[in-house]
Amino acid sequence: MAKPLLKIQRYFRRKPVRFFSLILLYLTAGSLVFLHAGFVGDNGPGARGGRDSLIASEMGSWASSDTRGLGLMSRVFKEKRRSGRRFGPPWMKKTRQEGQGMVGRGRDYTSNWKRALKGRNAKDLDDGRAKYIGCYIDDTQKRALRGVSFFDYKKMTVFRCQDNCAERGYMYAGLEFGAECYCGHKIQAPNVSESECNMECKGEKSNVCGGPNRLSIYRLELSQESARRYGSAIFKGCFHRPDNVTLALPFSAVIQNMSVDKCVDMCTEREKSLAVLAGDRCYCGFPTPLFSLHELEDEGMCLNRCQAEEFESCGNDKYFVVYQTQVQDNRCMDRHFLPTRAKQLVALASFPGAGNTWARHLIELATGFYTGSYYFDGSLYNKGFKGERDHWRSGRTICIKTHESGRKEIEAFDSSVLMIRNPYKALMAEFNRKYGGHIGFASQAHWRGKEWPEFVKNYAPWWASHTLDWLHYGRNVHVVHFEDLKRDLFSKLKGMVEFLGLKVSEDRLLCVEGQKDGNFKRSGLRKLEYDPYTPEMRSNINELIRTVDAALKKRNMSGVPEEYMPR
């Protein structure tokens, strides 16, 4: 034993550099092990009793328990959220035994989902996502669906085609030759026998994707806010002729052989955001109080076939067909920091997934001032949220985004706009953000694995405690429900601007309506093919909804929207 040690000693005497290199590697390895142990320690046991006492206290009396520990989170600058530790109260931390138990339950959910989906194909699915219409003729000279198209001769699937068409606002999606996808608003060809659509999809052998010159067509059940398009233009609807049309829509021209394309192209060249068809006359302009697009008429009032288009309506003298062009309305695009330091700090508070980033987008467009953040997100800064880099106490921003809860954090603000969203939607949105980014999607593996049950177990009670904390500790709270803001953006956003102490510009609000989505909206179609919530999950969430509803009414506020309430 002594001889090998003596050889090693002589070796390092001859090569001292190698000796010091070995020591350095040893110390580096030790440091990494130490750091790893520290991070693992963060996931250790945490107190969960605070959550139950908070919700129980709201159902009985706030004085019966101390909920301060529920929302305490330190101020951090995040580069990228990597784990569930990013937000939430201490009770979100679980013991290793709980985690192992949840893994077992996760496997049960996966097997249930697989059994439920086994044997189903795209034609059988009619779950609010899309409905199969039939097999149709497609002529290369005169397409059945005349919108955008794309091809993928290796990975085409029914869902991929549907999702791409829905994302662009089309009503129909058709698949042809196993690999071609076509979108459109109308089917402009006759249907044929189902046996003529007989080619398997290149990306999924279990489904049919049309055939040679044959389309398997689906009608897309788009969400209410999804846009209908004609090429690059967005269909806004049928509207009554304004009282003073020359003042409301200052530019117009008579077009021979009128078509939607011709009117949209003319208004685009004139750099106007609205193309308005009235028979053979085309008007161009912007939304104004004289022509606000708030009073939508039945589309039947605008029925008047375009001279140059067999399937499109061009309106008439009394009822106008309106399209939004690709021209950007610049009346609400200028944004600045506050000229003087704000005397009060206003929070824009919400549970994660409740639409905080979207609300910031709307507020910045409506007010012309940047919003700030309790955190730092480089991706949002790169998308134009310049207040993201400012310290949240700088006083240069109109309001400050925060997901914090707990007395200390809430009382740091003088007032707050509290965004509340249906927990079933908010939880799914945050799960998608956590595993897919701000406008991305979690993978099927995440939904079907252990991550989703664990997420719901941890985050659902936080949805309730977050709202209860802000209602209890907030000094001046203006509640806005995400769903109400979507339904009635103009009046709800106007109320938010007035709460922030600013003068409301109607022209600016109308400009916001035309650019309400920004870059913060996920596809209107991409939904799961199953309900990810188990009966046990729904039972627990429904009880939380009732608790929040009671808390709002207790403070003389309107309760949660009707669609939240359990059926």
User: What would the pLDDT profile of 355-367 be if each residue is shown by its tens digit?
Assistant: 999 999 999 999 9
The two beta strands, 130-137 and 214-220, are antiparallel
Every domain of the chain and the residues it spans: 130-220, 229-324, 346-564
Summarize the confidence of residues 252-278 as an average pLDDT: 93
pLDDT of residue 142: 85
Rounded-to-integer distance, Cα 181 and Cα 161, Å? 6
How many C-alpha atoms does 186 have within 13 Å on its Cβ side?
10
pLDDT at site 427? 94
Least confident of 87-91, 284-288, 329-333: 87-91
Is it the case that residue 375 has pLDDT exceeding 80?
yes
Arithmetic mean of pLDDT, 409-424? 96
- Cα(528)–Cα(531) distance, integer angstroms: 7
Of 221, 182, 216, 184, which Cα lies nearest the Cα of 200? Answer: 216
Residue 463's pLDDT band (cuts 50, 70, 90): very high
**Contacting residues for 334 by C-beta, under 8 A, at least 6 apart:** 368
Q: How many CA atoms lie within 13 Å of 39's alpha carbon, on the beta-carbon side? A: 8
Do the beta carbons of residue 532 and residue 447 sit within 8 Å?
Answer: yes
Amino acid at 501: G
Mean local confidence (pLDDT), 285-312? 89
The residue that leads in pLDDT, 490 or 379, is 490
Contacts of 215 (CB under 8 A, 6+ apart): 135, 136, 137, 138, 144, 145, 174, 175, 176, 182, 189, 197
pLDDT in tens, 307-350: 887 678 899 999 999 999 988 888 998 999 999 999 999 999 99
Out of 34-38, 142-146, 418-422, 442-446, the most confident range is 418-422
Identify which has the larger pLDDT, 252 or 11.
252
Q: Which range scores top for mean pLDDT: 100-104, 126-130, 201-205, 460-464?
A: 460-464
Contacting residues for 332 by C-beta, under 8 A, at least 6 apart: 365, 366, 368, 508, 511, 512, 515
The CATH number of 346-564 is: 3.40.50.300
- Residue 250: strand pairing partners: none
Confidence category of residue 64, pLDDT binned at 50, 70, 90:
very low
pLDDT score for 5: 60
Confidence grade of residue 225 (pLDDT, cut at 50, 70, 90)? very low
Residue range 461-469: mean pLDDT, rounded: 95
CA torsion angle 134 139 144 147 (round to 10): 130
Whether pLDDT at 491 is above 90: yes
Q: How far apart are CA 266 and CA 107, in angstroms?
A: 58
| 270-303 as b/e: b if 16+ CB within 10 A | eebbbbbbbbbbbbbbbbbeebbbeeeeeeebbe
- Tokens representing 413 are 């603000």
Strand partners, 305: 313
pTM score > 0.75 for this model? Answer: no
pLDDT band at 251 (very low <50, low <70, confident <90, very high): very high
Residue 227 has what DSSP assignment? Answer: P
Q: Which residue has the higher pLDDT, 1 or 379?
A: 379
For residue 78, what pLDDT is reported? 35
Structure tokens at 546: 């009732």
Which one, of 531, 527, 533, 532, lies nearest residue 159 by Cα? Answer: 527
Q: Give the least confident one: 396-400, 429-433, 486-490.
A: 429-433
Three-state DSSP string of 493-547: HHHHHHHCCCCCCHHHHHHHHHCCCCCCCCCCCCCCCCCCCCHHHHHHHHHHHHH
Q: Is 561 left (phi over 0), alpha (psi -120 to 50) or beta?
A: beta
